[in-house]
Amino acid sequence: MSEILNTPVNICVIGSGYVGLVAAVCFAETGHHVVCVDNDEQKVASLCQGKVPIYEKHLDDLLAKHLNKGVHFTTGLHDAVERSEAVFIAVGTPQSSTGSADLSFVEAVVSEIARGINSYKVIVEKSTVPVYTHAWIRRVLSRYGIQDHLFDVVSNPEFLREGTAVVDFLHPDRIVVGAETPKAAEVLGRIYAPLTSGEYYSRPNAIAGPLNVKSPAPILVTSPQSAEIIKHASNSFLALKISFINVVSTICESVGADVDDVAKGMGLDARIGSRFLSAGIGYGGSCFPKDLTAFHNVAQQQGIDFKLLTEVERINEQQKRHFFQKIHSTLWTLRGKKIAALGLAFKGETDDIRDSPGIDIIKMLLEAGSKVSAYDPAAMERSREVLPEEGQLQYVQDEYAAAKGADALLILTHWPQFAKLDLERLKGLLKFPIIIDGRNLYDYKEMHDKGFTYVSVGRPASHSGLETIPRANFV
């Protein structure tokens, strides 16, 4: 039995982005032989030297451990496919002009895979794709003359979060395998056996996480179309939870309630669950905004108007404007004011700034004529590419440099270090002790006692002036 569990599978992963690179390195970590293919020669050359292009915990160490042993990098797709039993497609599926997923990279890769099929292969969709993509992959392979018995297509969606991707991969809530045949399901079963049997968690040097030998990773085998929908529906549902609590937070502000208590009270109901109920400045990133639109499109193509999803998006946009208005009403006027902005990444523990709500808020402030001094522990380099440093915008080396002489300090990203600021030092540096916190990192009562004007999301503001000045209707 343990021999079966430890049988290495020859795997090819196409694409070395967040999903592909993490999958390739983690498959090597669980004991498989992996070749990761990318057509970007520079990226491959740099990966071959052990350089990780993204900010992701554990990834550097795992790559160093497995490079040129369990995992190799190449631009040669044909050879990599020939040598592999399973071929994972993890290329980008960007949003097209209509909002649907652009599958041209997937199609291009599938036509190349066709040339490398010399024996039975399982072709696995790892990228987030709309329902029925598996059927299109099958059709393209057939058009290239590949006989049915030489391949199966499986949908195996990834549920990893940026920043905790490695732990999410090795300690998943579930592994979903949408397989066309028992033969294909068996190959995926072997690939994930170290996690589903618990064997991986018994290793002395296993990456630690919530799962263990007694409670290993659960696997769910479904049809390919169910698996494809599970991915889109899961991301859409999580975004819905966030938008829901964000509207609740606005109600809390109006009636003097505390959204954190409300979320806690709701989350204790096991049917609701406490996760993804943190009110803030809206969700961002490369997945939720894109996947929500794509899923709406999928529904539309089936003649179903999934209006709920458009509402989720509308609320998300509104939440950013609402936060901006909060800054406006706290500072009265914005032109010429200096604002310290902590956080550029779309969330903590990542350098990713795609669809970052914090960046949108900084843009609104710059448009309103404010000067912004911005700091992020990891995302400043990427941020400079979309928001170049100029007269009104300055990037600084830490939180305290940002605060120096500022009229107010904003917290825009949930970085753990922003929850542990030296408040006395900040008070000495800020022009006025005003903190506007879009992530609810501090206790508002304590902030009041410490002498701050502290405005957060869905909780009473500790600014005595606010009670007497009527607030505009921001929604």
**Positions marked active-site:** 287
Indicate which single residue of 47, 277, 298, 387 sits in contact with ligand UGA (rule: CB under 6 A).
277
Indicate which single residue of 285, 343, 433, 438 sits in contact with ligand UGA (rule: CB under 6 A).
285
Does residue 313 bind ligand UGA (CB under 6 A)? no
Question: At closest approach, how far in Å is the CB of 444 from ligand UGA?
Answer: 18
- Whole-number Å distance between alpha carbons of 69 and 64: 10
Q: In what order do the strands lie in the sheet with 86-89?
A: 71-74, 33-37, 10-14, 86-89, 121-125, 151-155, 175-179, 219-222
CB 352 within 8 A of CB 162: yes
Question: At closest approach, how far in Å is the CB of 367 from ligand UGA?
Answer: 22
Which residue, among 433, 405, 361, 322, has the nearest Cα to 421 in the 3D structure? 433
Q: Which among 30-38, 274-282, 334-342, 362-370 is the span making contact with ligand UGA, rule CB under 6 A?
A: 274-282
Question: At closest approach, how far in Å is the CB of 162 from ligand UGA?
Answer: 4
Q: Which is nearer to ligand UGA, 288 or 454 (CB)?
A: 288
453-455 and 434-437 beta bridge pairing: parallel
Q: Which is nearer to ligand UGA, 350 or 373 (CB)?
A: 350
Which parts of 132-171 interact with ligand UGA (CB under 6 A)? 158-162
**Tokens 């914090």 appear where?**
358
Residue 308 Cα distances to 103, 131, 281, 295, 315, angstroms:
25, 19, 20, 11, 11
String of contacts with ligand UGA for each residue 317-356, x by CB under 6 A: -----------------------------xx---------
Indicate which single residue of 15, 284, 343, 438 sits in contact with ligand UGA (rule: CB under 6 A).
284
Indicate which single residue of 105, 132, 136, 276 sits in contact with ligand UGA (rule: CB under 6 A).
276
**Tokens 């529904």 appear where?**
299
First to last CA, the chain: 60
Question: At closest approach, how far in Å is the CB of 241 from ligand UGA?
Answer: 7
Question: At closest approach, how far in Å is the CB of 18 from ligand UGA?
Answer: 7
172: Cα within 13 Å, side-chain hemisphere: 23
Q: What distance lies between CA 375 and its chain's CA centroid?
A: 21
- Whole-number Å distance between alpha carbons of 29 and 433: 49
Count of other CB atoms within 10 angstroms of residue 256: 9
Q: Which is nearer to ligand UGA, 176 or 387 (CB)?
A: 176
Question: At closest approach, how far in Å is the CB of 279 from ligand UGA?
Answer: 7
190 token code pair: 């072997």
Q: Which among 26-34, 138-146, 206-214, 287-295 is the span making contact with ligand UGA, rule CB under 6 A?
A: 287-295
Residue 127 Cα distances to 98, 131, 294, 459, 467, angstroms:
19, 12, 13, 39, 50
Report the phi/psi class of residue 241: left, alpha or beta, with left for phi > 0 and alpha for psi in -120 to 50.
alpha
Residue 193 Cα distances to 3, 10, 186, angstroms:
11, 14, 10
Does residue 21 bind ligand UGA (CB under 6 A)? no
Question: At closest approach, how far in Å is the CB of 249 from ligand UGA?
Answer: 10
Does residue 128 bind ligand UGA (CB under 6 A)? yes
The site for ligand UGA, by CB under 6 A, has a size of: 22
Which parts of 395-434 interact with ligand UGA (CB under 6 A)? 414
Does residue 288 bind ligand UGA (CB under 6 A)? yes
Q: Which is nearer to ligand UGA, 38 or 158 (CB)?
A: 158
Question: At closest approach, how far in Å is the CB of 247 from ligand UGA?
Answer: 13
Q: Which is nearer to ligand UGA, 158 or 180 (CB)?
A: 158
Question: At closest approach, how far in Å is the CB of 172 from ligand UGA?
Answer: 10
Which parts of 208-267 interact with ligand UGA (CB under 6 A)? 235, 238, 242
Q: Which is nearer to ligand UGA, 184 or 292 (CB)?
A: 292
Q: Which is nearer to ligand UGA, 81 or 374 (CB)?
A: 374
Which parts of 351-390 interact with ligand UGA (CB under 6 A)? none
Q: Which is nearer to ligand UGA, 268 or 469 (CB)?
A: 268
Indicate which single residue of 278, 293, 370, 456 sits in contact with ligand UGA (rule: CB under 6 A).
278
Does residue 280 bind ligand UGA (CB under 6 A)? yes
Q: Which is nearer to ligand UGA, 343 or 460 (CB)?
A: 343
Residues that bind ligand UGA (CB under 6 A): 128, 158-162, 235, 238, 242, 276-278, 280, 283-285, 287-288, 291, 346-347, 414
